[in-house]
Amino acid sequence: GENVEQHPSTLSVQEGDSAVIKCTYSDSASNYFPWYKQELGKRPQLIIDIRSNVGEKKDQRIAVTLNKTAKHFSLHITETQPEDSAVYFCAATGGFKTIFGAGTRLFVKA
Amino acid sequence: KAGVTQTPRYLIKTRGQQVTLSCSPISGHRSVSWYQQTPGQGLQFLFEYFSETQRNKGNFPGRFSGRQFSNSRSEMNVSTLELGDSALYLCASSLISGTGSSGANVLTFGAGSRLTVL
Protein backbone atom coordinates (compact mmCIF):
# COMPACT_ATOMS: atom_id res chain seq x y z
CA GLY A 1 0.00 0.00 0.00
CA GLU A 2 0.92 3.66 -0.07
CA ASN A 3 3.60 4.65 2.40
CA VAL A 4 5.49 7.74 3.52
CA GLU A 5 8.78 7.24 5.32
CA GLN A 6 10.13 10.07 7.45
CA HIS A 7 13.58 10.55 9.00
CA PRO A 8 14.87 11.19 11.56
CA SER A 9 12.32 10.28 14.21
CA THR A 10 14.03 12.60 16.69
CA LEU A 11 16.19 15.64 16.01
CA SER A 12 17.94 17.83 18.55
CA VAL A 13 19.59 21.09 17.48
CA GLN A 14 21.06 24.15 19.14
CA GLU A 15 19.14 27.38 18.84
CA GLY A 16 20.20 29.16 15.67
CA ASP A 17 21.25 25.99 13.86
CA SER A 18 19.38 24.49 10.89
CA ALA A 19 17.16 21.42 10.94
CA VAL A 20 16.42 19.12 8.03
CA ILE A 21 13.71 16.46 7.87
CA LYS A 22 13.50 14.06 4.94
CA CYS A 23 10.61 12.05 3.54
CA THR A 24 10.11 9.47 0.84
CA TYR A 25 6.76 8.49 -0.66
CA SER A 26 5.74 5.44 -2.63
CA ASP A 27 2.55 6.39 -4.48
CA SER A 28 3.32 7.84 -7.93
CA ALA A 29 -0.14 9.41 -7.98
CA SER A 30 0.77 11.77 -5.12
CA ASN A 31 0.79 15.35 -6.35
CA TYR A 32 0.63 17.53 -3.26
CA PHE A 33 3.01 17.47 -0.29
CA PRO A 34 2.07 19.35 2.90
CA TRP A 35 4.00 19.65 6.14
CA TYR A 36 2.23 19.89 9.49
CA LYS A 37 3.49 21.00 12.88
CA GLN A 38 1.95 19.59 16.03
CA GLU A 39 2.80 21.20 19.34
CA LEU A 40 2.28 19.27 22.55
CA GLY A 41 -1.42 18.78 23.26
CA LYS A 42 -2.51 20.61 20.14
CA ARG A 43 -3.85 19.66 16.74
CA PRO A 44 -1.61 19.43 13.64
CA GLN A 45 -1.42 22.65 11.67
CA LEU A 46 -0.20 23.24 8.13
CA ILE A 47 3.06 25.17 7.99
CA ILE A 48 4.02 24.88 4.34
CA ASP A 49 3.13 22.84 1.27
CA ILE A 50 4.42 22.16 -2.20
CA ARG A 51 2.73 20.91 -5.35
CA SER A 52 4.21 18.38 -7.71
CA ASN A 53 4.99 20.87 -10.46
CA VAL A 54 7.26 22.91 -8.16
CA GLY A 55 10.76 21.95 -7.02
CA GLU A 56 11.22 24.34 -4.14
CA LYS A 57 9.21 26.74 -2.00
CA LYS A 58 10.31 29.07 0.77
CA ASP A 59 8.43 30.94 3.47
CA GLN A 60 10.63 32.98 5.79
CA ARG A 61 12.73 30.50 7.81
CA ILE A 62 11.21 27.35 6.35
CA ALA A 63 11.64 25.83 2.92
CA VAL A 64 10.60 22.63 1.21
CA THR A 65 12.19 20.84 -1.71
CA LEU A 66 10.69 18.13 -3.89
CA ASN A 67 12.40 15.62 -6.15
CA LYS A 68 9.49 13.89 -7.87
CA THR A 69 11.73 11.55 -9.85
CA ALA A 70 13.30 10.18 -6.70
CA LYS A 71 10.05 10.56 -4.70
CA HIS A 72 11.88 12.54 -2.04
CA PHE A 73 10.89 15.75 -0.31
CA SER A 74 12.45 17.65 2.56
CA LEU A 75 11.74 20.37 5.10
CA HIS A 76 14.47 22.85 6.01
CA ILE A 77 14.21 25.15 9.01
CA THR A 78 16.93 27.78 9.36
CA GLU A 79 17.84 29.85 12.42
CA THR A 80 15.85 27.55 14.69
CA GLN A 81 14.18 28.98 17.77
CA PRO A 82 12.87 27.27 20.93
CA GLU A 83 9.30 27.77 19.70
CA ASP A 84 10.11 25.54 16.72
CA SER A 85 10.18 22.60 19.15
CA ALA A 86 7.31 20.31 18.12
CA VAL A 87 6.51 17.20 16.11
CA TYR A 88 6.64 17.70 12.36
CA PHE A 89 4.76 15.48 9.92
CA CYS A 90 5.31 15.22 6.21
CA ALA A 91 2.47 13.99 4.03
CA ALA A 92 1.67 13.00 0.47
CA THR A 93 -1.74 13.55 -1.11
CA GLY A 94 -3.31 11.78 -4.06
CA GLY A 95 -6.44 9.79 -4.82
CA PHE A 96 -8.62 11.45 -2.15
CA LYS A 97 -6.30 10.61 0.70
CA THR A 98 -3.40 12.18 2.55
CA ILE A 99 -0.86 9.76 3.96
CA PHE A 100 1.37 10.99 6.76
CA GLY A 101 4.88 10.08 7.79
CA ALA A 102 5.49 8.85 11.34
CA GLY A 103 6.66 12.27 12.50
CA THR A 104 9.89 13.92 13.64
CA ARG A 105 10.19 15.24 17.16
CA LEU A 106 12.33 18.38 16.98
CA PHE A 107 14.01 19.76 20.10
CA VAL A 108 15.60 23.18 19.89
CA LYS A 109 17.94 23.81 22.81
CA ALA A 110 18.33 27.38 23.98
CA LYS B 1 -15.58 31.13 10.84
CA ALA B 2 -15.85 28.21 13.24
CA GLY B 3 -13.23 25.50 13.01
CA VAL B 4 -13.60 21.74 12.91
CA THR B 5 -15.54 20.51 15.94
CA GLN B 6 -15.20 17.01 17.33
CA THR B 7 -17.30 15.44 20.05
CA PRO B 8 -16.85 13.99 22.54
CA ARG B 9 -13.37 15.20 23.44
CA TYR B 10 -12.68 12.38 25.90
CA LEU B 11 -14.29 9.04 26.50
CA ILE B 12 -13.59 5.82 28.29
CA LYS B 13 -14.99 2.50 27.15
CA THR B 14 -14.43 -1.14 27.99
CA ARG B 15 -13.43 -3.93 25.66
CA GLY B 16 -16.26 -5.22 23.52
CA GLN B 17 -18.25 -1.99 23.61
CA GLN B 18 -18.77 0.27 20.63
CA VAL B 19 -18.23 3.98 20.22
CA THR B 20 -19.44 6.71 17.89
CA LEU B 21 -17.43 9.88 17.31
CA SER B 22 -18.74 13.00 15.61
CA CYS B 23 -17.10 15.63 13.44
CA SER B 24 -18.55 18.91 12.17
CA PRO B 25 -16.41 20.37 9.39
CA ILE B 26 -15.72 23.99 8.60
CA SER B 27 -18.72 25.54 6.89
CA GLY B 28 -18.43 24.98 3.15
CA HIS B 29 -15.96 22.12 3.46
CA ARG B 30 -17.38 18.97 1.91
CA SER B 31 -14.53 16.54 2.48
CA VAL B 32 -13.96 14.92 5.85
CA SER B 33 -11.05 12.62 6.64
CA TRP B 34 -10.46 10.59 9.77
CA TYR B 35 -7.12 9.64 11.32
CA GLN B 36 -6.00 7.56 14.26
CA GLN B 37 -3.04 8.99 16.17
CA THR B 38 -1.01 6.85 18.56
CA PRO B 39 2.46 7.52 20.02
CA GLY B 40 5.11 6.36 17.60
CA GLN B 41 2.63 5.57 14.82
CA GLY B 42 1.92 9.04 13.61
CA LEU B 43 -1.35 9.69 11.85
CA GLN B 44 -2.92 6.61 10.34
CA PHE B 45 -5.52 7.25 7.62
CA LEU B 46 -8.91 5.69 8.32
CA PHE B 47 -11.22 6.99 5.57
CA GLU B 48 -12.32 10.02 3.57
CA TYR B 49 -15.85 11.15 2.75
CA PHE B 50 -17.11 13.63 0.21
CA SER B 51 -20.77 14.34 -0.51
CA GLU B 52 -21.86 11.40 1.65
CA THR B 53 -19.63 8.97 -0.29
CA GLN B 54 -16.59 7.16 1.05
CA ARG B 55 -13.94 7.76 -1.58
CA ASN B 56 -10.99 6.09 0.08
CA LYS B 57 -10.26 3.82 2.99
CA GLY B 58 -7.13 2.96 4.95
CA ASN B 59 -5.95 -0.42 6.19
CA PHE B 60 -8.16 -0.82 9.22
CA PRO B 61 -10.43 -3.76 10.06
CA GLY B 62 -14.13 -3.67 9.29
CA ARG B 63 -14.84 -2.78 12.93
CA PHE B 64 -14.02 0.77 11.91
CA SER B 65 -16.74 2.41 9.86
CA GLY B 66 -17.98 5.87 9.08
CA ARG B 67 -20.56 7.91 7.31
CA GLN B 68 -21.24 11.42 6.19
CA PHE B 69 -24.51 13.28 6.26
CA SER B 70 -25.99 15.71 3.76
CA ASN B 71 -24.77 18.67 5.85
CA SER B 72 -21.19 17.26 5.60
CA ARG B 73 -21.08 16.29 9.26
CA SER B 74 -19.42 12.92 9.70
CA GLU B 75 -19.42 10.15 12.25
CA MET B 76 -17.11 7.22 12.74
CA ASN B 77 -17.95 4.09 14.64
CA VAL B 78 -15.74 1.47 16.18
CA SER B 79 -17.44 -1.76 17.22
CA THR B 80 -16.18 -4.51 19.51
CA LEU B 81 -13.52 -2.27 21.01
CA GLU B 82 -10.06 -3.66 21.71
CA LEU B 83 -7.35 -2.32 24.01
CA GLY B 84 -5.30 -1.37 20.95
CA ASP B 85 -8.03 1.01 19.79
CA SER B 86 -7.03 3.46 22.52
CA ALA B 87 -5.89 6.52 20.60
CA LEU B 88 -6.59 10.08 19.63
CA TYR B 89 -9.02 10.14 16.72
CA LEU B 90 -8.61 13.21 14.57
CA CYS B 91 -11.01 14.51 12.00
CA ALA B 92 -9.95 16.94 9.29
CA SER B 93 -12.01 18.84 6.77
CA SER B 94 -10.94 20.28 3.46
CA LEU B 95 -12.26 22.20 0.51
CA ILE B 96 -11.53 20.14 -2.54
CA SER B 97 -11.10 22.04 -5.75
CA GLY B 98 -11.45 20.23 -9.02
CA THR B 99 -12.04 16.52 -9.39
CA GLY B 100 -9.88 13.47 -9.24
CA SER B 101 -6.52 13.72 -7.57
CA SER B 102 -5.43 16.98 -9.15
CA GLY B 103 -6.77 19.33 -6.50
CA ALA B 104 -4.96 20.50 -3.43
CA ASN B 105 -6.18 19.07 -0.13
CA VAL B 106 -5.37 21.40 2.72
CA LEU B 107 -6.53 19.64 5.86
CA THR B 108 -7.81 21.58 8.86
CA PHE B 109 -7.88 19.38 11.93
CA GLY B 110 -10.22 19.24 14.84
CA ALA B 111 -8.97 18.93 18.42
CA GLY B 112 -9.61 15.20 18.40
CA SER B 113 -11.50 12.66 20.46
CA ARG B 114 -9.31 10.80 22.92
CA LEU B 115 -10.57 7.25 23.38
CA THR B 116 -9.37 5.04 26.20
CA VAL B 117 -10.35 1.38 26.13
CA LEU B 118 -10.05 -0.49 29.43
Which residues of chain A have a CB within 8 Å of the CB of B42? 6, 89, 100-103
Residue type, B31: S
Segment A78-82 mean pLDDT? 97
pLDDT score at A70: 94
State yes or no: pLDDT of B73 exceeds 50: yes
State yes or no: pLDDT of B94 exceeds 60: yes
Which among A9, A10, A43 is the top mutation candidate for probing chain B, defined by the most B β-carbons within 10 Å of its own β-carbon?
A: A43
pLDDT tier for residue B109 given thresholds of 50, 70 and 90: very high
pLDDT score at B100: 44
- CA B26-B105-A79 angle, to 5 degrees, is 100
B111/A43 Cβ within 8 A: yes
User: Torsions phi, psi of A41, nearest 5?
Assistant: 75, 5
State yes or no: pLDDT of A38 exceeds 70: yes
Which among B30, B101, B113 is the top mutation candidate for probing chain A, defined by the most A β-carbons within 10 Å of its own β-carbon?
A: B101
**What is the tens place of the pLDDT at every residue in B23-51?**
999 998 899 999 999 987 789 999 999 99
State yes or no: pLDDT of B105 exceeds 60: yes
pLDDT tier for residue B98 given thresholds of 50, 70 and 90: very low
Q: Which of A39, A58, A22, A30 has its CA nearest to residue A48? A: A58
Residues 24-83, chain B: which have Cβ within 8 Å of A? Answer: 31, 33, 35, 40-45, 48, 50, 55-56, 58-59
B101/A98 Cβ within 8 A: no
State yes or no: pLDDT of B66 exceeds 50: yes
Candidate from B56, B110, B112 with C-beta closest to A97: B56
3-state secondary structure A32-50: EEEEEEECCCCCCEEEEEE
pLDDT score at B104: 59
Which residues of chain B have a CB within 8 Å of the CB of A96? 31, 48, 50, 55-56, 101
pLDDT tier for residue A20 given thresholds of 50, 70 and 90: very high
Segment A3-29 mean pLDDT? 96
